[in-house]
Structure 1
Amino acid sequence: MFILIIWSIRFLYMYLNTDNHSFEWHLIHFNPVKMANIDNKLNLFNASFGCLFVYFIYILYFCNNTRATQLIYRVLIDGDHRFFIREKSSIDEQNIIVNDDDDYQRQKIVRRIRLWLTIYHQAFHFLYYASYLLAIIYEIQILMMLKKFGYFSSIPGIINIIIELFHLILVIIGGQTCLDISFIFGACFITITMILFTKFQQIKTKWLDRKKHVKSIKINRKIIWNIRNRIIKMLILIESIDHTYGILMFLFILFNFPMNAYLTMITIITKTKPFTEQLLHQTITINQWSYIFVFHYIAIRFGYYLHLPSKYFINRYYLKCTKPSTNRTTMMMIMNIRDRLQFSDWLEKFHTKKRYGLTYGRTNLITMSTFVQVNFLNYLNFNSLKIVIFHSKKF
């Protein structure tokens, strides 16, 4: 947190003192925004981005003792597979003996989650190497310019080169810290998503898959309340996710919207930039667009899985019990009036227009329509910036 505060103060200082200094001063203080002839407001964005990651550290390290994080630790670190559903079991007269093959299948789920997280970790290693490579390219260009200006031939010039190296190291350390926090946040979000999606898929496959199980499974009170209790527990976990990782992702996307629109505009309109700068802009833009799309898709799937059992029971069983047939008699034998009232109350709470799921902070629920609205706002921001740059070039 201290490193990122210093990092943010440095970029804020660059934003406030850009217009009063020469190009050589920006080289010595390693101001890549000015060296690339980008709008000085990008320094202000970098300063606010560092403050945002300070808040991320505070939430992830000091205010993150939630149900979701405890489940992540149990599955990912301890290898505990008891959260997942047992598919098979052999019942003894005294105890329930778990089938070894089923135990192996649940351990296989844990290993698959660890494998995907390892792949995600390797992808972040690529970002580390790419950032180091870009820093080296920038440093070589700066040293060549400083040599051209004669800084290597005098003691004050060498001192300025040392100052420039100090600023470079500070920027690299701060950028690496931001990548570390992004990795930790992304790893937690990916892990809890895979855990819950696997559990939702197990519920769907074991009890709700119409093609495979509609003929073999006989609906009874035990199955109904089993699914109901499991869905309520999953809803509590998703609420824990929404209060921590959902808010952090919302803030991350909110802060990246202006930057994303600006870089998209720069990438499309400007063709005279060096290859390294164009590659940096395109990489950041693709990275941010992928974050936006993947997060919205995951959030929409959370809502889909939560409301799937209620739709299934309404379509397959609950509507049948209202017809004067044997199904009505069977359903009434399975459930008494008290159970049916509780079951109807549960269906009413889940089968409603006010749906459950991840939200934009404390605002709207994330659905496909809100996703289109968010992208439409991003498109408007892009067009407004495009008009501004067009008129600035014209004048």
Structure 2
Amino acid sequence: MKLIYLSPVHWQSYAQRPHFMIRSLLDNGIRELLWLNPYCARLPRWSDLQRRRSLYDQNTALQDRVEVLRVPALPLEPLPVFSRLNALAWTGTLRRIRSFVADGRYILGIGRPVRLGLTLLRRLRPAWSFYDAMDDFPEFHSGASKRAMACHELAIASAVDTVITSSTYLQGKFHCLGLRPKLIRNGCEIEAGSPPSGCRHIPPVLGYLGTMGSWFDWDLVHSIARQVPDIVVRLIGPVFDPPGCDMPGNVEILPPCSHDEVRNHMAGFSAGLIPFRVNALTRGVDPIKYYEYRSLGLPVLTTRFGEMRLREKTEGVFFLDEGESLPSLLARAFGWAAKLDAREPLMFYRQNNWSVRFSGLIPRRYMEDYGD
């Protein structure tokens, strides 16, 4: 069985939920994959002129049996009249897609609610289709762009065979639309490491590895660094939304790394940071970083956003926004890490890795009926 996947992220970017989902499916019955890189589905912003292409390219290696296809488009999708120009630009893309599936049945996966997703649902006849809502996509935009994406999302979710969500909030959102979404939370690929001993490093390192966008709370990072000047706050990744002021001297901002370097960077952390804002954008987020940090035996210092707010009584989770003094919070976090059973990180990994998450995504009848 083949799979066409309209991705919300570029293949070359940091390996994220779509990459791990696809790898799991290729290990469990999918024979070939056509990955459609995302195009700009909102109106342009002035900041786009300053955004470097390298922010999307962390050299994620191309996988066997995967073909990556660039989708040409003008940033006019929210404007119905002008968006028809993109339909003309997609002639070559649709030709390649039809050629890819010409020799048999196939599955269509949509990872982003855009007009091309609707076009594929209307023009193709997949054996099975799904929409993976890994984020509350319309909340990334405003005005006409937000309205257009919300409209496309409703149409796509109503047309596919299955809607998948990454968080309980998103599951509830689609339940309210009369649908029956399937909850598949995020997971981890980084296999368990040795549990930390105390704070692991001198000075201690509070680390964050990932994208820093509008959801990233720079004010909180500034406050943390000022309250405990004898620790290092290490931030690694592409900066889409830079801080509005100078950071204290104990804040390190390092450039993006390749996925192969992630484990080595995290091995230098004493605790994992997730300093996200609590707002409409993050209320549907289940952060992959939580699973990665915990699979390495790191305590997680986080705000009470999205799925994290449900982990109040979860081992290894320490909330930054509950009023406790930061030195006291760090002492508790490092104390928890020092007493961690050596077997716990491996157990956590086995229960939360991506293969476990997506093992039952596609119904077996669509894998077995055609000999794949």
> TM-score higher than 0.5 here?
no
Pick the TM interval, shorter chain.
under 0.3
Normalising by structure 2, report the TM-score: 0.26
Higher strand share: 2
Normalising by structure 1, report the TM-score: 0.25
Higher helix share: 1
